[in-house]
Amino acid sequence: MLGVVVLTIIINAVQFEASGLAAHLPNLILCAVIGAALWLNQLYRLRLALAIIIVLVLLAASYPLLAMGVDGNETPRPSFFSSSRL
């Protein structure tokens, strides 16, 4: 996951080089949080590291729903409203 975020930062830096640090700040914060979770995992704090990553993923998935509403954004609907039975 950390590699994907770093690759995203590099691609954004090449594409939007004039946008400055403000455009890369969310990805840099994400790198710091993932790095902290990896560090906690190294210290055998697996539950805390997983909790941080799970909260991060849930916040990232729910932000479009909270910002635009359910009618404004249909993309994340399957992740929240799908059946858990297979």
Show the tokens assigned to 17: 């080089």
For 25-78, the pLDDT digits (tens) are 777 788 888 889 989 999 999 999 999 988 988 887 777 777 776 665 555 555
Hey, is 28 helix, strand or coil? Answer: helix
Between 12 and 57, residue with greater pLDDT: 57
Contacts of residues 6-9 at CB distance under 8 Å and 24 or more positions apart, as own/partner, are 6/31
Residue 86 is predicted with a pLDDT of 46
The closest of 54, 55, 36 to 45, measured between CA atoms, is: 36
Q: Does the pLDDT of residue 83 top 60, yes or no?
A: no
Residue 59 is predicted with a pLDDT of 84
The closest of 24, 21, 30 to 9, measured between CA atoms, is: 24
Residues composing the chain = 86
Residue 46 is predicted with a pLDDT of 93
Residue 40 is predicted with a pLDDT of 93
